[in-house]
Amino acid sequence: GAVVSQHPSRVICKSGTSVKIECRSLDFQATTMFWYRQFPKQSLMLMATSNEGSKATYEQGVEKDKFLINHASLTLSTLTVTSAHPEDSSFYICSAAAEEEQFFGPGTRLTVL
Amino acid sequence: GNSVTQMEGPVTLSEEAFLTINCTYTATGYPSLFWYVQYPGEGLQLLLKATKADDKGSNKGFEATYRKETTSFHLEKGSVQVSDSAVYFCARPNAGGTSYGKLTFGQGTILTVHP
């Protein structure tokens, strides 16, 4: 099946810094990628839909100036958490759409001190 | 609307026990239905899917039948293993019948299997 990678898998940063998370589709092209956030023992919360060559579509309540999404190519989308704070600590998961399925990355654990 | 309701967990079983995790969905058309599995510290993997009524999805000993009469897609396995310990999510597309649109997930069910 199709493979999606995320980098880094784990990041610890200081409050106020920015963190970039990359999501890559390794063996297929994805015009649409999705970014999710998952709190411990909870379901996935869709944050935004990332479309190649156009602006991302954010879900209600998600601050687009805080969570910057760039989908520069058909195989890469990035999520930048700007001026991170401890409440941004979470597990961030991306997925890439291909035909009738979504393929998920392994997730990135962000801890903001 | 688009909603998915899953049986609340956590579920704790002994190895070789029978597993059922209930899932029901709101009947907006006849969407494709999915079960995803998330192993500890990892992203989600598609476990199985069904694209139309009465379809049975199956994989790794797991099965789920798309039942439009009861708007359900319950996950079953006849004999669980310790390696099946994970979180299981039922999901449906928000719009249309294909999954490359947005997905709505159930709340997830934590399964722990003891030797």
What is the mean predicted confidence (pLDDT) over B77-103?
Answer: 81
Q: Are B74 and A75 in contact (CB under 8 A)?
A: no
- What's the distance, CA B39 to chain centroid? 14
Judge: A105–B43 Cβ closer than 8 Å, yes or no: yes
CB atoms within 10 A of CB B86: 21
Question: What percent helix, strand, coil does chain A show, rounded to 5?
Answer: 5, 55, 40
SS3 B83: helix
CB atoms within 10 A of CB A65: 8
Judge: A107–B42 Cβ closer than 8 Å, yes or no: yes
- What's the distance, CA B37 to chain centroid? 8
Stretches in chain A below the pLDDT threshold 70: 1, 99-100
**Gap between the terminal Cα atoms of chain A:** 37
Q: Which chain A positions have a beta carbon within 8 Å of B99's beta carbon?
A: 97, 100-102
pLDDT tens digits, residue range A28-55? 888 889 999 998 877 888 899 988 888 8
In this complex, the residue of A4, A102, A109 whose CB is nearest that of residue B99 is A102
Distances (CA, A) of B74 to A47, A60, A68, B52, B64: 27, 30, 37, 15, 5
pLDDT tens digits, residue range B17-65? 999 999 999 867 778 899 999 998 888 899 999 999 999 999 999 999 9
State the Cα–Cα distance between residues A45 and A50, nearest whole angstrom.
15
The pair of three-digit structure tokens given for residue B77, joined into one six-digit string: 């396995």
In this complex, the residue of B49, B102, B110 whose CB is nearest that of residue A41 is B110
State the Cα–Cα distance between residues B21 and B113, nearest whole angstrom.
14
**Gap between the terminal Cα atoms of chain B:** 41
Determine contact: A95 vs chain B, CB below 8 A. Answer: yes
